[in-house]
Amino acid sequence: MIPLMHSLIFATTLFVIGLFGALTRRNFLFLLLSLMVMINGAVIALVAAGAYWQLADGQIISTLALSTALAESCIGLALLVKIFHRRKTVNIDALSEMKG
Amino acid sequence: MNLLYLTIIIPLLSFIVLVCLGRNIRKESIIVIGISTIILLCLLMAFVFIDYQANIIPDTSLIYSRFLWEWFTVGTTKISISLQLDGLSLVFLIIISFFSLIIYFFSACYLKSSNDIYTFFAYSNLLISSLFLLILADNLFVLFVGWQGVSISSYLLMGIYYQKRKISLSVIKAFIVMCVSDAFLLLGILLIYNELNTLNIHEILTLANQNLAVESEIVFWISITLFIGVMGKAGLFPFHTSFSETALAPMPVITLLQSITMVTSSGYFVLRLNPLFMMSSDIFVIMGVISAVALIFSSCISLVQNDIKSLVTYINLGQISYIFFVFSIQNWILSLNFMISYSVTSALLLLSSSILIKVCNGEQNIYKLGGLYHRYPILYIAFLLSAASLCAMPWVMSAFYTKGDIIWGLMMNNKMGLGTIALVGILLSTLSILRLIFTVFHHKQKLTHFSVVSKLSYVPLVILAVMSTAVFIYIPLPIQGIIPAFNLDTENQLILQLLLAAVTILGILIACILFFDSNSEISEIANTPIGRMVFKLWQSKWRFDQLLQFLFVRPCLYLIELVKKDPLSRWNQLVTWGIRKINFQIEFLENGRLRWYMMSIVGGSIIILLLLILI
């Protein structure tokens, strides 16, 4: 039996790694990857919570979360392809049209 | 008598009509409106005069008062618009309407362009209306309203030639001087109100005798502030700017202002409040000294002026100080007589000068004219008569008797110095007027072609010339009971009259020696170093304007320089400056990079979480 705290620390670590990646990477692909890593962290937290309380809810929500993550990554990759096709770059800072 | 209020309404209406329509109607109709206004006014005055005489009971003073409406009430003080007519006001009203009639008539013949005519008639109507309000008012507040009306209309009248920048600036200067003295007058009125809790003139005079101590400090302050206010209107020495700048206006305006407005408004005020002034004897000493200074000041300036207008203006300024000489010996009846004689003389002098300027095509420098006496004999005689009046020609002119009485009164009051100065003033005014006459009428003729003046404009001259002779010395004035009677000790007065005659003849002789031919003596005197300095000083009017510049204008400008940056608003600037600084510091945070925003959100949430956990 893995103690809850360990799994939560693991989930947090994953989440923080993903967050850090999302904040620092300029590449669109890596941005998507970091998002996936963050969602994985969240999923692990959910599963750990479900196991701790001996309930199936955690499993169910983790399934939902994963499916959303997959849908998201699909849309993200489709956008990536389109943007690369249009702008010949995957650097999101270069793509940014927001004015400071 | 019940139509008295019309004397204020008619000129006011005429003023409104002329101001609204004056630009668009023909010159002739403007003249008709102006003249008909003044004729109506004179008819009304004649009617009032007859009515007054019919109702008068011998040896009493008839006071007619008519309550019109209540203006406003402050606490227990009611300020009501009500007219009050007694002998004194009647005399002044008659003087004003008579002279205005003459001047209106003259200006209809004299002024050329319709623009000048309509402004002149409009503003003069306003002036006359405010003068009537001033004289008929029964409380000091309404009197002050009339006083201000006189100030503003004088300003408007002086500025008829406002297109010239220099003139408009000078007129503004005169107006500021007037306003300063008016502020003092208002201060005096407020002091009176503070002491006596009333503004009604009659009540003030009775209450002042009961409640205020003679020679007390408050009485002195009241009378000095009122006197400063009067000085600004009469143009005595420190406030003479309001008088001397009238010389920039057209001639009829100068006459209207100098011979009527200034004298009647200030003189009436002093005469009306004479019991109040008489409670403080210091004020009469001050009056005497100031009028002496003013007399010498203006006479010296008038000796060396070359411009006809300013020469005549400064002569009149000297004459006005005689009125205050009379006030200082508290001989009120004589002062009224002298005012009338002064009005006649100055109007005669000014009107004849205006005809002179007109026939010489607007040439005002006396040295560019000359030899006119066989060309314009009537004008010459008019000038000689006004000169005789100024010189106090013995036993011929009324001025001889009035001025003789003034000097006699000064001597009898042990004011030998003032009497001497008054004599010297007569000498100086003789010199300056004769210099004008000899230079213009006797030297070589320099002008070749002259303008034509209609014969009608000589009519006022003739009337005034007749009035200035000794026939009209002591007109019986209906002023018993208002003005305390004054008995002069007439013993030994013949000696004084002989002295005065000697002074006059001496002045005429000196003037003949110096100015009759264009000889070189005067230029020799003027070319010595001292003479040159004195001449320069007098020609620049004792450098009074520079003095004003130094005393008031410069410090004022300096202060303006100081507060131009508005030191008190530094605090506000400090706040904005700080905000701006912080803004510069944190501006880079808003750069349009989403990752930055996410980072700050994350950082913020981490901090909040830490706070939640740790605290």
* HEC secondary structure over B428-485: HHHHHHHHHHHHHHCCCCCCCCCCCCCHHHHHHHHHHHHHCEHHHCCCCCCCCCCCCC
What separation in angstroms does the CA of B423 have from each of B312, B419, B503? 19, 6, 7
Q: Which chain B positions have a beta carbon within 8 Å of A35's beta carbon?
A: none
Interface contact A85, partner B, CB < 8 A: no
d(CA A58, CA A38): 17
B598 to A24: CB separation less than 8 angstroms, yes or no:
no
What tokens does B418 get? 């003032």
**Residue B79 DSSP SS3:** strand
H helical segments located in B111-256: 114-136, 140-158, 165-196, 201-211, 217-234, 241-244, 251-255
Which of the two residues, B324 and B568, has the higher pLDDT score?
B324
Question: Which long-range contacts (C-beta less than 8 Å, at least 24 apart) are formed by B278-282?
Answer: B278/B330, B278/B484, B279/B208, B279/B209, B279/B212, B279/B214, B279/B215, B279/B219, B279/B223, B280/B214, B280/B215, B280/B219, B280/B220, B280/B222, B280/B223, B281/B215, B282/B215, B282/B220
Q: Is B113 left (phi over 0), alpha (psi -120 to 50) or beta?
A: beta
Question: Minimal Cα–Cα distance from A83 to chain B, Å?
Answer: 18
In this prediction, residue B185 has a pLDDT band, given cuts at 50, 70 and 90, of: very high
In this prediction, residue B154 has a pLDDT band, given cuts at 50, 70 and 90, of: very high
Rounded to a whole number of angstroms, the CA Rg of chain B reads 30
Question: Minimal Cα–Cα distance from A53 to chain B, Å?
Answer: 24
Statement: residue A34 has pLDDT above 90: yes
pLDDT at B586: 87
For residue B290, what are the contacts with CB-CB under 8 A and spacing of at least 6?
Answer: B231, B236, B237, B238, B321, B324
pLDDT at B519: 65
pLDDT at B562: 86
What tokens does B257 get? 């202002």
Probe site for chain B from A24, A26, A28, A96 (most B CB atoms < 10 A): A96
CB neighbourhood size of B330 (10 A): 18
Q: Which chain B positions have a beta carbon within 8 Å of A22's beta carbon?
A: 595, 598
d(CA B88, CA B267): 11
Q: Which chain B positions have a beta carbon within 8 Å of A99's beta carbon?
A: 592
Centroid of chain to Cα B302: 18
In this prediction, residue B51 has a pLDDT band, given cuts at 50, 70 and 90, of: confident
Interface contact A91, partner B, CB < 8 A: no
B594 to A24: CB separation less than 8 angstroms, yes or no:
no
Probe site for chain B from A28, A35, A38, A93 (most B CB atoms < 10 A): A93
For every residue of A46-64, DSSP letters joined together read: HHHHHHHHT-SHHHHHHHH
What are the pLDDT digits (tens) for A44-99? 999 999 999 999 998 999 999 999 999 999 999 999 999 999 988 888 888 777 77
**Residue B71 DSSP SS3:** strand
Q: Which chain A positions have a beta carbon within 8 Å of B599's beta carbon?
A: 23
Interface contact B599, partner A, CB < 8 A: yes
Which of the two residues, B537 and B10, has the higher pLDDT score?
B10
DSSP state of B213: P
Nearest to B591 among A22, A23, A100 (CB): A100
In this prediction, residue B15 has a pLDDT band, given cuts at 50, 70 and 90, of: very high
Q: Which percentage of chain B shows pLDDT scores above 90? A: 21
pLDDT at B489: 67
| Residues facing B77 on adjacent strands | B74
Count CA within 13 A, CB hemisphere, residue B114.
14
Q: Which chain A positions have a beta carbon within 8 Å of B602's beta carbon?
A: 19, 23
CB neighbourhood size of B60 (10 A): 9
The residue among B306, B316, B433 whose CA lies nearest residue B382 is B433
pLDDT at B473: 64
Interface contact A54, partner B, CB < 8 A: no
Helix axis angle for B308-328 and B398-412, nearest 10°, is 50
In this prediction, residue B472 has a pLDDT band, given cuts at 50, 70 and 90, of: low
What tokens does B131 get? 């003068």
* Torsions phi, psi for B365 (to 5 deg): -85, 125
In this prediction, residue B501 has a pLDDT band, given cuts at 50, 70 and 90, of: confident
B592 to A99: CB separation less than 8 angstroms, yes or no:
yes
**Residue B397 DSSP SS3:** strand
Q: Which chain A positions have a beta carbon within 8 Å of B591's beta carbon?
A: 100
Which of the two residues, B91 and B476, has the higher pLDDT score?
B91
Rounded to a whole number of angstroms, the CA Rg of chain A reads 17
Centroid of chain to Cα B479: 24
Q: Which chain B positions have a beta carbon within 8 Å of A93's beta carbon?
A: 593
Contact B278, B220 (CB under 8 A): no
pLDDT at B520: 62
Closest residue in A to B597 (Cα–Cα): A23
In this prediction, residue B604 has a pLDDT band, given cuts at 50, 70 and 90, of: very high
A96 to B602: CB separation less than 8 angstroms, yes or no:
no
Q: Which chain A positions have a beta carbon within 8 Å of B594's beta carbon?
A: 96, 98
pLDDT at B12: 93
- Please give the mean pLDDT across all residues of chain B: 85
A23 to B598: CB separation less than 8 angstroms, yes or no:
yes
pLDDT at B481: 64
What separation in angstroms does the CA of B264 have from each of B88, B93, B337? 11, 9, 12
What are the pLDDT digits (tens) for B360-379? 887 888 888 877 777 888 88
pLDDT at B475: 66
pLDDT at B248: 84
Q: Which chain A positions have a beta carbon within 8 Å of B590's beta carbon?
A: 100
Nearest to A100 among B590, B598, B599 (CB): B590
The residue among B146, B182, B317 whose CA lies nearest residue B240 is B317
**Residue A79 DSSP SS3:** helix
B593 to A100: CB separation less than 8 angstroms, yes or no:
yes
What separation in angstroms does the CA of B542 have from each of A53, B304, B313, B386, B525? 110, 11, 15, 26, 19
d(CA B393, CA B402): 11
Statement: residue B24 has pLDDT above 90: no
The b/e string for B291-317 (b: 16+ C-beta within 10 A; e otherwise) is bbebbbbbbbbbbbbeebbbbbbbbbb
Nearest to A96 among B592, B599, B602 (CB): B592
A98 to B592: CB separation less than 8 angstroms, yes or no:
yes
What are the pLDDT digits (tens) for B570-599? 888 899 999 999 999 988 878 777 788 888
What are the pLDDT digits (tens) for B337-361? 888 888 988 999 999 998 888 888 8
Write the single-letter amino acid at B400. F
User: What's the rounded mean pLDDT across residues B128-149?
Assistant: 92
Closest residue in A to B596 (Cα–Cα): A23
Statement: residue B316 has pLDDT above 80: yes
User: What's the rounded mean pLDDT across residues B163-169?
Assistant: 88
What are the pLDDT digits (tens) for B219-233? 999 999 999 999 888
Interface contact B592, partner A, CB < 8 A: yes
In this prediction, residue B72 has a pLDDT band, given cuts at 50, 70 and 90, of: confident
Interface contact A22, partner B, CB < 8 A: yes
